[in-house]
Homo-oligomer: A and B are copies of this chain.
């Protein structure tokens, strides 16, 4: 487990990733832009950025040891040459979610919504990195970054539909899907 890494996603007209679509799912969308850049560390968004979102990697909050072992054995790293499609999904959960205690959130997240278990069939095709931003004064709680090959784009949409149908997702009050290609 490396130390937390702060990451800034910068949308504008520069960067290695082409923004193919911005699809609001719940709440306010994000402004249109053509390119996405990803910077490490504390970055001041340049004036030309349409929007910027910051998040930090962190320790796992819900995964238990046996699940950790399964995930470690299955998951792929970011940056695979064939993974030329990506999705950035900023999510904010409701105050009601954050008022729940850890064991109540875990029960909804995994015992009832099977967030981890349901994601396993999509590994290693879909690589993922989660960034936390609730404590950074950002408009979202999480920024999840996914990478996959063009041929797995349909599988990715399937995973998304599956998660959005869960009890956990009732607590999502803002979510936008930024589809990318490079």
Nearest-Cβ distance from residue A36 to partner chain B, whole angstroms? 22
Bound Cα distance A41, B102 (Å): 26
Report B-chain residues with C-beta under 8 Å of the C-beta of A42.
137
Task: Answer yes or no: A59 CB below 8 A from chain B CBs.
Answer: yes
Contact assessment for A101 and B65 in the assembled complex, using a CB-CB cutoff below 8 Å: yes
A residues adjacent to B (C-beta < 8 A): 1, 3-4, 6, 41-42, 56, 58-65, 68, 95, 98-99, 101-104, 106, 132, 134-137
Asked if A61 and B102 make an inter-chain contact with CB atoms under 8 angstroms apart, the answer reads yes
Closest to A62 in B: B102
Q: CB-nearest residue of chain B relative to A3?
A: B95
Show 6 A/B contacts (Cβ-Cβ < 8 Å), sorted by A: A4-B137, A6-B137, A58-B135, A59-B134, A64-B101, A64-B102
Chain B residue at smallest Cβ distance from A60: B101
Q: Are B1 and A59 in contact (CB under 8 A)?
A: no
Contact partners of A4 in chain B: CB under 8 A: 134-135, 137
CA distance A64 to B105 in the complex (A): 10
Which B residues are in CB contact (< 8 Å) with A63?
101-102
A60 cross-chain contacts in B, Cβ below 8 A? 101-102
**CB-CB under 8 A for A65 and B104, given A4-B135, A58-B135, A135-B58:** yes
Q: Which residues of B contact A104 (CB under 8 A)?
A: 65
